[in-house]
Structure 1
Amino acid sequence: MAVYFSILLVALTLVCGVVWVIDKFHWAPQRRLKLAVAQAQCEGELGADAEAKIMEAPFFIDTPVQIFPVIAFVLVLRSFLYEPFQIPSGSMMPTLLDGDFILVNKYNYGLRDPVFREKFVEIGAPERGDVVVFKYPLDTRIDYIKRVIGLPGDRIIYRNKSIYIKPACTDEVKDCGSYKQIEQNFVSNGDYHDGDVPLTRYKLKLGEKTHDILVNNQILPRTAHFFKQAGTQKDEFVVPEGHYFVMGDNRDNSLDGRFWGFVPEENLVGEAVFIWTSFDFERTQEDLLPTWVPTGIRFSRIGSIE
């Protein structure tokens, strides 16, 4: 749906832009010339109503001219700066909740054209711990949001609900010879639930990002369903060049890279950076109002995303 909207927005902007240019350099001067001729032929002053009628453009010209600056601004903002998204599920709890409305920074990872998504300006790349929006590799019509765990060349193990990372060797990373377990510090139990099951909350640090995750200790690791990669153990992942390995913060309720593989760099949309509003949706089918009507605003959730 987002792809179709981008194409429609670009097409509408182009059409309105062409009309705006033609009007500015041809039709508007023609109307001014017509007004000058009418004034010259009139013995007295033309009335304001008559002048306005002569200068008035037809609706099929005036409407595109009026809306062009607005949609051009929206196109630039949405394509190259920030795009709003809604969180539709609980796979990123507790960082993001169903009903959060977020802003995604679209220039951190380079500028792309809004239709073919070809990068034309290199700016930066995802860092470990970033929360990213991307096109789901198995169906690029769908936008997903997860956290970056592995960078290109990394080796990742997810075992006993813990992450082990062997980073790729680079000029900046010298300690790349062995796996390092990402420490998980207990925070609480029961703040969040999966049905009737209390979830355990841990705090951990990935790269420069400190964040919380949720674990359902009653669910065994589903390694039999993990993405199968030649030459690795069943719970090990080697991130190819130009790809990223991502996971949801709600570890046992997230369809992420453990099950379908890696995110190609060209699928990246941007980095989720800010919650600009958040709604509660607690209505049931028995309520008078539809379930999509919010029951309240969670002001405490507005702010930066870690």
Structure 2
Amino acid sequence: MDFDFSAILLGLTVLFGVVWGLDRLLFYKKRKAKADAAGQDVQDPVPVDWARSLFPVVLVVLLLRSFVAEPFRIPSGSMMPTLDVGDFILVNKFAYGLRMPAFNNKFVSLGEPKRGDVVVFRFPGYLCEVDGKTVRSGDQSCADPQAPVQGQNWIKRVIGLPGDHIEMHGDQLLINGQPIAADEVGPYVGNPKRDESRLMLEMGATVWNEHLPREDGSVINHLTARMPAYNRPPPIPNERVPSVVPQGCYLVMGDNRYNSTDSRWWGCMPEQNLAGKAFLIWLSWKGTDAGWVDFSRIGRLIH
């Protein structure tokens, strides 16, 4: 089951605030007058005492997570070698604007994603056709186009901006007609005790330094992994992904190009699904069989 922690925090904040506020408006004065008449200190009922104590704490956490920075844990290997399974990251929640907690409606615009940004977003679902209309479904095969989309947070890299012409054929990425250069770094080196690393080692994965151009003329250099022996993602364009990125959408991919369920499979990522920009690894948990914590990754900036 997927829990929306922001929704839980919002619900608790409202609950504690309402309990505390109603008590102060309707019951506190009578309770205080009665205690004063008896020469005693006023005592709040246990639920009210808890609400009064927890309300400011939960409110501060909600505000920090919603508008400043939110922690996430990397659950899969789709962003390797940039991000490993078990990396705990911080996401800048105001990089692209302020959004309402839980509802994710933007009410203050502060910018838009740039090509090369690593972004966290709400998984939009797979594109299916129903009676001539395109719908988002949680079923990849579209056998059940009405299947609900799980409320999961995903992380990928922005490759295509609205209006960009994108092509992807095997390892070759083209943006607005220009081939994107990449230099081979060497074979992937990882810990065979970890499932994701073992898969990449068995499939003969190689690491590449990709030079992704930005709209301002600068270049983002980042690592990608290739292992064509493992999988063949769909090319771009395909039946779900047009060559031109629609307005209000972004085309995103994982850095582990052959092991990432990204825009090549389910289409563009709608702007309203954005959660924020990943910027820092604050902990990297490797597990009890693989060295516990990787201290070399702690504090590493994400780019």
How do residues 8-87 of structure 1 correspond to structure 2 at under 5 angstroms?
A: 8-24=8-24, 27-39=27-39, 51=40, 54-87=41-74
Q: Which of these two proteins has the greater Rg computed from alpha carbons?
A: 1
Q: Does 1:241 align with 2:241?
A: no
Q: Output the amino acid matched with 2:302.
A: I
Percent same amino acid at aligned positions? 43
Give how far 1:259 is off.
1.7
Give how far 1:59 is off.
0.3
Q: In the superposition, relative to structure 1, how do residues 19 and 157 fare at CA in structure 2: closer, same or farther (>3 Å)? A: same
* Aligned CA-pair RMSD: 2.4
1:68-108 CA-to-partner distances (Å, cap 9, x unmatched) read 01111111122222221111111100110001111111111
Contact 1:105 1:272 in 2 (8 A): yes
1:300 matched residue in structure 2: 296
Structure 2, unaligned stretches of length 5 or more?
Answer: 126-148, 191-196
Q: Distance in 1 between matches of 2:8 and 2:49?
A: 20
Q: Distance in 2 between matches of 1:279 and 1:229?
A: 36
Q: Distance in 1 between matches of 2:188 and 2:44?
A: 65
Contact 1:226 1:259 in 2 (8 A): no
Q: Output the amino acid matched with 2:294.
A: R
Normalised by the size of structure 2, how large is the TM-score? Answer: 0.79
Structure 1, unaligned stretches of length 5 or more?
Answer: 40-50, 167-178, 284-293
- Give aligned pairs, total: 266
Contact 1:189 1:198 in 2 (8 A): yes
1:155 pairs with one of 142, 165, 175 = 165
Q: Distance in 1 between matches of 2:205 and 2:31?
A: 70
Q: Distance in 2 between matches of 1:225 and 1:281?
A: 37
Contact 2:240 2:266 in 1 (8 A): no
How do residues 1-306 of structure 1 correspond to structure 2 at under 5 angstroms?
A: 4-24=4-24, 27-39=27-39, 51=40, 54-138=41-125, 139-166=149-176, 179-192=177-190, 194-206=200-212, 207=214, 208-218=219-229, 221-223=232-234, 227-228=238-239, 237-281=243-287, 283=289, 296-303=292-299, 304-306=301-303
Contact 1:158 1:164 in 2 (8 A): yes
Q: Distance in 2 between matches of 1:32 and 1:220?
A: 70
